[in-house]
Structure 1
Amino acid sequence: MYDIRRLVLLRDLAEHVTMTAVSELHGITTSAVSQQLRILEEEVGAVLTRREGRVLRLTHAGRVLVDHTSRIIAALEEAESAVAATGEAVTGVLTVATFRTALDSLALPAAARLRAEYPSLRIRLVGMMPVDSVPAVRQQDVDLAVTYSYSFRARDLPLGLSSEFLFNDPLVVLAPPALRERVGRQGLAAVRDADWIAAPDGAPSIASVVFACREAGFAPRIEHRSASFAAMAEMVEHDLGVTIVPEMSVADRHRHLIAATVTDGNRQVGVTYRQASQERPAVAAAIRALRTVSGPERIAS
């Protein structure tokens, strides 16, 4: 019988390509990874990897084994979930990843609700952007994640994961007082010549600025950059330019800067989890809690 830990190393090598990446993922040395894979090849009786330049590629036998490994891991987790579901109490440790702007309004209220309802359940919150939290769910580093995707950008989940929609977080235009009324009347066309504030290149939110402006018929002149929505709002407050951010990220002290909503623009907030874990009582309870604190008024928006 094959060792499940070695199968996981092979699966992770298939995804991350290099021994270094796998060793960092598991907190062991590259030589230890190499040794475990050699032992796995002896167990299987077939060559599983082949070096191409500086990376390892899976052979046909290796790919077949990885495909089966994903199903094996899912089956084991389904068994754990089914056994856990036979118990009357919701116990254990539940690790939830959440992005920054969902912490106060979503993750913390859900955690408080779970702690009050299930005193024996320990909740761990981890701050992560979806680009990191979705792989973390798949790798079983976290149990589920509060995630988002922008309405104009399709997202495909890795095999074995599911995502449940919670609510739409509208995209809004923040503008200083001198421009706010014009934006309200004319839309984004009113600020086509303004200085713009956006996230650094590569951040998911910058696409919302570029896409919305392109739909309005112009390319934004981005003069200021920040990775923080709060800092971007402060820049607008100090008359440095305009920006587009998710409404949920706008603090009460900055809500007077909201000039308009972006037509058909929103950030779709959801919860992502492994399909094999959805019957686990703690995971099911967390999804219910997130659904409850999201509120019907959000879901309808």
Structure 2
Amino acid sequence: MLDIRRLYMLKTVAARGSITAAAQSLALSAGAVSQQLSALRHDVGVDLLRPDGRSVALTEAGQVLLEHADRILAAVEEAESAIAVVKGTVGATTTLAALPSTVARIVAPALTALGSHHPQLTVTCLVTDQAQLRELTLGTVDVVLGQRYHHLPDATPRGIEVSPLLDDPLLVVTAADQADERPVDLRELATHPLAVPPPTTDCGQAILQACHQAGFAPTMRYITADIAAQLTLARAGLATALIPRTAIDPTTPGIRTAPIADHPIQRLLFAATRHTQTANPTTTAVIAALSTAARQDRTTPVPLA
């Protein structure tokens, strides 16, 4: 009989591209992973992996087995969810992956509420903007608080269920003494030095596209994904920043924010889980807390001066 843990290791190696990378994500030694994959190869009687440069790739048999492994692992999770519903209680542990820009105004309030309503639940929070949905499909995390800019195609992987939380516009951020709170046409920023994320990021792409639609190429004087750095540059009067509303602490002194009037840039914040026919009470509780925090954030003002 095939070992479920070995099937999961095969899936992880296929996603990570190497045994070493898979071992790191599983908190195992590369030797331990190799040993288990060798045992799996012995179980099926055919090679499952082949060298591919510095990485490994699935053989035809490996690909066939992975397709079945996905269904087997999904069925196991379905069974776990069904049992959790019968028990009728929120579990003891779960893992949340969240964007850094959502921590202060959504994640922290949500975790505080969860601690109050479900004190037995321990939430491990992975704060990152890298490959969150891939980690969700691999089972490394249970809930993702992610984003999708409206101008980009939906790239949600198969088997992932998305719950919209909040439409989050980018605001124009300047030093408090350099502007008023009136809406700003994006083309007014054509002569401004900007502090923006790298163009390789979703936010950077969204800003570039909006500026081009407004008829100009932005002057990207400072390129950083660090929102605290962008706010510091704006507060010092060195640059104008375009920052998601939720990422701006309303108590931040010395800045002024204004909406974009003509070419608004907006991201959708969402909560994502692996799809199961029976909703798991633990992930349901996490999503409910995130949704409540997002609703409350809609009414939180941002600094006008």
- Cα pair 2:100 2:127 within 8 Å, conserved: yes
CA shift, 1:200, in A, is 3.4
Task: Choose which of 226, 229, 233 in structure 1 pairs with 2:227.
Answer: 229
RMSD of Structure 2 on Structure 1 (CA): 2.4
Given the alignment of the two structures, is residue 200 of structure 1 paired with residue 198 of structure 2, yes or no? yes
3-state SS of 2:47 partner: coil
* Structure with higher helix content: 1
CA gap 1:34/1:79 in 2 versus in 1, 3 angstroms:
same
Residues of 1 paired with 2:115 and 2:80: CA distance?
A: 22
Residue aligning to 1:101: 101
Matches within 5 A, 1:25-64: 25-64=25-64
Residue aligning to 2:91: 91
Residue aligning to 1:289: 289
CA shift, 1:117, in A, is 2.1
Residues of 2 paired with 1:107 and 1:278: CA distance?
A: 25
- Cα pair 2:23 2:30 within 8 Å, conserved: yes
CA shift, 1:266, in A, is 0.7
CA shift, 1:146, in A, is 1.1
CA gap 1:43/1:208 in 2 versus in 1, 3 angstroms:
same
Residue aligning to 2:171: 172
Moved more, 59-68 or 120-129: 120-129
Residues of 2 paired with 1:231 and 1:8: CA distance?
A: 40
Unpaired runs of at least 5, structure 1: none
CA shift, 1:43, in A, is 0.3
- Cα pair 2:47 2:59 within 8 Å, conserved: yes
- Cα pair 2:98 2:125 within 8 Å, conserved: yes
Residues of 1 paired with 2:183 and 2:54: CA distance?
A: 57
CA gap 1:191/1:179 in 2 versus in 1, 3 angstroms:
farther
Moved more, 120-129 or 158-167: 120-129
Given the alignment of the two structures, is residue 246 of structure 1 paired with residue 244 of structure 2, yes or no? yes
Residue aligning to 1:215: 213
CA shift, 1:101, in A, is 2.4
- Cα pair 1:209 1:243 within 8 Å, conserved: no
Residue aligning to 1:120: 120
Unpaired runs of at least 5, structure 2: 300-305
3-state SS of 2:191 partner: coil
3-state SS of 1:91 partner: coil
CA gap 1:291/1:16 in 2 versus in 1, 3 angstroms:
same
CA gap 1:86/1:217 in 2 versus in 1, 3 angstroms:
same
Residues of 1 paired with 2:179 and 2:61: CA distance?
A: 62
Given the alignment of the two structures, is residue 163 of structure 1 paired with residue 171 of structure 2, yes or no? no
3-state SS of 1:142 partner: coil
Fraction of identical pairs, as percent: 28
CA gap 1:10/1:189 in 2 versus in 1, 3 angstroms:
same
Moved more, 276-285 or 39-48: 276-285
- Map Cα deviations across residues 12-45 of structure 1 (whole Å, 9 max, x no partner): 2222222222222222333332222222111012
Q: How many matched pairs?
A: 297
- Map Cα deviations across residues 111-134 of structure 1 (whole Å, 9 max, x no partner): 2222222232223333222x3332
CA gap 1:16/1:200 in 2 versus in 1, 3 angstroms:
same
Amino acid at match of 1:172: L
CA gap 1:186/1:59 in 2 versus in 1, 3 angstroms:
closer
- Cα pair 2:49 2:56 within 8 Å, conserved: yes
Residue aligning to 2:303: none
Residues of 1 paired with 2:123 and 2:32: CA distance?
A: 32
- Cα pair 2:105 2:249 within 8 Å, conserved: no
Residue aligning to 2:149: 150
- Cα pair 2:150 2:267 within 8 Å, conserved: yes
- Cα pair 2:82 2:278 within 8 Å, conserved: no
- Cα pair 1:97 1:145 within 8 Å, conserved: yes
Matches within 5 A, 1:253-268: 253=252, 256-261=255-260, 263-268=263-268
Moved more, 36-45 or 115-124: 115-124
3-state SS of 2:194 partner: strand
